[in-house]
Amino acid sequence: MASISRQTSGRWQAKVRKVGFPLRSKTFATKADAEAWARAQEREMDRGAFLPTDAAERTSVAAILDRYILEVFPRLAGEGKNFHANMARMKAEIGGISLSALDPSHISAYRDKALTLVSAQTVRHDLGLLSRALKMAVIDWGIALPRGLPTALVRLPKVPRSRDRRLKSGEEAKLLRAAEVYGGEIGDIISFALETAARRTEIASMRWEHVDLKSRVVTFPETKNGEIRRAPLSPRALEILKARKRDLGPVWRMRPDSISQAFERVCAKAELEDLRFHDLRHEAVSRLFEKGLNTMEVAAISGHKTLAMLKKYTHLRAEDLAAKL
């Protein structure tokens, strides 16, 4: 049964009571609006389609993103911090919208605006984070979304073809010569990356406690997928580390951003165009395949979780395959 009453403020309050359902109440500016809302609630209860939307109405998109950051990001090891910018961008644009009002049009508008500021891949990461936060709100936090999962009805932007930049003949030698002139650790870091297929953040976070020179193994406790990875050390990688041998503490003094900046300057000095530090990982993975290692062996070294992810970073030279045939 629904009851409509006028409050001292002049607004109209509607209350809906039905056995088996929680009490529902809401205030409106007019009696007609209150009555219409009450009838709609009763219809939903009668046909078994009622969903309590109180929590969704009083919870904003920003609130669930903040809770997701608080509860989920600590479990993402070193990678959680990389997503803070994504969350901040979404909160600035759609954070004030309640979950009950959020619909695909809001998210599509955010997508289109974000594409003018960041890459398509970054926007895909944004929408993926939002989708996971909304699913967690429904499954783990008990917040019903009256409009369903709005991200499911939003097209993801297409990403450009993955990079296939590999080192051409003579480029590695030019790069290392320029690194030697530049000085510091960057030359050894470049060589280490080519030998191990390690990511920039993994290299920068290496500590001597995680290096076993006797077993020729390095442990990366903080990886992109949040899992610990143990990788073998090639003779050249082992040589680089032995020349720097310490007992405790960081293996390298350079931070991830410092590595990128130094690499850009070395590339400029070597007159190499369109080469990024992450391309060294592409190059290293491809070289592992060219040495004859199988997919599982390469994945164990590089840390890729699926063949599709591994293929994205693998570009075998047709000339090398022809020679092998």
Residue 24 predicted with pLDDT over 50 = yes
Mean pLDDT on 265-279: 91
Give the active site residue among 210, 278, 312, 315. 278
Residue 185 predicted with pLDDT over 90 = yes
The single residue listed with the structure tokens 């997919």 is 295
CATH number at 171-324: 1.10.443.10
Which pLDDT belongs to residue 181?
A: 92
Mean pLDDT on 275-282: 90
Residue 147 predicted with pLDDT over 80 = no
Domain extent listing, the chain: 2-50, 57-153, 171-324
Known catalytic membership, residue 313: yes
Known catalytic membership, residue 84: no
Give the active site residue among 224, 229, 282, 287. 224
Superfamily covering domain 57-153: Tyrosine recombinase, N-terminal domain (1.10.150.130)
Whether the domain at 57-153 and the domain at 171-324 fall into the same CATH topology = no
Give the active site residue among 24, 68, 282, 313. 313
Buried b (16+ CB within 10 A) or exposed e, 180-204: eebeebbbbbbbbbbbbbbbbbbbb
Mean pLDDT on 233-259: 88
Give the active site residue among 89, 200, 229, 281. 281
Known catalytic membership, residue 199: yes
Which pLDDT belongs to residue 286?
A: 86
Residue 50 predicted with pLDDT over 60 = no
Known catalytic membership, residue 282: no
pLDDT tens-digit series, residues 70-90: 888 776 654 455 677 888 889
Residues 263, 295: Cα–Cα separation, whole Å: 29
pTM of the model: 0.58
Is 4 in a helix, a strand, or coil? strand
Residue 268 predicted with pLDDT over 90 = yes
Known catalytic membership, residue 281: yes
Known catalytic membership, residue 106: no
Contacts 24+ apart (CB under 8 A), 175-182: 175/266, 175/267, 175/270, 175/272, 175/275, 177/270, 178/266, 178/267, 178/269, 178/270, 179/266, 181/269, 182/262, 182/265, 182/266, 182/269
Residue 102 predicted with pLDDT over 50 = yes
Which pLDDT belongs to residue 72?
A: 81
Give the active site residue among 199, 200, 282, 287. 199
Which pLDDT belongs to residue 76?
A: 63
| DSSP string computed for 83-132 | GHHHHHHHHHHHTTSBTTT--HHHHHHHHHHHTTTS-HHHHHHHHHHHHH
Mean pLDDT on 110-130: 90
Residues 169, 216: Cα–Cα separation, whole Å: 29
Mean pLDDT on 220-244: 82
